[in-house]
């Protein structure tokens, strides 16, 4: 039995979960999400407890069991509480601003970078350098954060660039003249 897959999922009162065939739908105050279960995985909803079951004992079925349970659990957490990722921009003249459905980044290039914000994702900027990404889907929030970071990852000599708020950048010593 998968250690993660066998843990039941508690459905909070403010979330609504439905199972229609192979699809699991979750709805809550933060949004709506859905996930199609793999072939050998099934879901059972009883009272406010959702359990994920598998048919088969091969390695692929075991792996999909834990994966499916983790994705459905993240869906339930996402529609009730949501997920956040914070980025910090460091460097002279580096800044960010949100205009409509795009994030405008000035990262020392000759042109501004315009990143379109996906649906269900909310991006806020404080002090021109602190970017907060919020949304119900954990995967989308992480992808948006990593794409914004990829425009100018932190460099090891001066520490300039876009970094996660909890990221530690290992600094290198520059060249020395003898």
**Which SS3 state, helix, strand or coil, does residue 134 take?**
strand
pLDDT tens-digit map of 69-124:
999 999 999 999 999 999 999 989 899 999 989 999 999 889 999 999 998 899 99
Q: Token pair of 98, please?
A: 């949100």
Whether residue 148 is predicted with pLDDT greater than 90 in this model: the reply is: yes
Q: How many CB atoms lie within 10 A of CB 142?
A: 14
Average pLDDT for the chain? 90
Q: Which residues of 70-103 are buried (b: 16+ CB within 10 A; e: fewer)?
A: bbbbbbbbbbbebbebebbbebeebebeeeeeeb
Give the domain ranges of the chain: 9-80, 83-164
Q: Averaged over 54-65, what is the pLDDT? A: 84
Round to whole Å and give the CA distance between 64 and 85. Answer: 26
Rounded distance, CA 122 to CA 31, Å? 12
Stated pTM of the model: 0.85
3-state secondary structure of 176: coil
For a pLDDT cut of 90, what percent of the chain falls above it?
A: 56
Q: What is the pLDDT of residue 2?
A: 62
Q: What is the pLDDT of residue 175?
A: 85
User: In this predicted model, which residue has the larger pLDDT, 56 or 139?
Assistant: 139
Average pLDDT on 7-20 reads 90
What pLDDT does 139 receive? 93
For 83-164, CATH gives: 3.90.930.12
- 1 pLDDT above the threshold of 60: no
CA angle 169, 170, 175 (to 5 degrees): 125
Fold observed for domain 9-80:
Outer Surface Protein A; domain 3 (3.90.930)
Is 68 within 8 Å of 38 (Cβ atoms)? yes
Inform me whether the pLDDT recorded for 55 exceeds 90: no
Mean pLDDT to the nearest integer, 113-139: 92
Residue of 83, 88, 166, 168 lying closest to 127 (CA atoms): 88
Q: Is a pLDDT exceeding 70 seen at residue 38?
A: yes
- Per the CB < 8 A criterion, the answer to whether 33 and 75 are in contact is yes
Same CATH topology for 9-80 and 83-164: the answer is: yes
* Per-residue pLDDT, 47: 86
């Amino acid at each position: 039995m998968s250690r993660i897959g066998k843990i039941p999922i508690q459905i909070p009162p403010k979330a609504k979960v439905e199972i229609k065939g192979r699809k699991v739908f979750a709805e809550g105050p933060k949004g709506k999400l859905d996930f199609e279960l793999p072939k050998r995985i099934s879901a059972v909803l009883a009272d406010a407890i959702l359990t994920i079951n598998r048919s088969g004992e091969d390695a692929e079925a075991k792996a999909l069991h834990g994966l499916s349970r983790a994705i459905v659990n993240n869906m339930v957490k996402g529609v009730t509480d949501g997920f956040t990722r914070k980025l910090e921009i460091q460097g002279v003249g580096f800044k960010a601003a949100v205009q409509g459905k795009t994030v405008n980044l000035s990262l020392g290039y000759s042109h501004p970078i315009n990143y379109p914000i996906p649906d269900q994702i909310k991006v806020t900027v404080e002090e021109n350098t602190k970017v907060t990404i919020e949304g119900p889907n954990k995967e989308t929030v992480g992808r948006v954060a990593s794409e914004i970071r990829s425009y100018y990852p932190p460099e090891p000599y001066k520490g300039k660039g876009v970094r996660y708020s909890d990221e530690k950048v290992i600094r290198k010593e520059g060249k020395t003249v003898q």
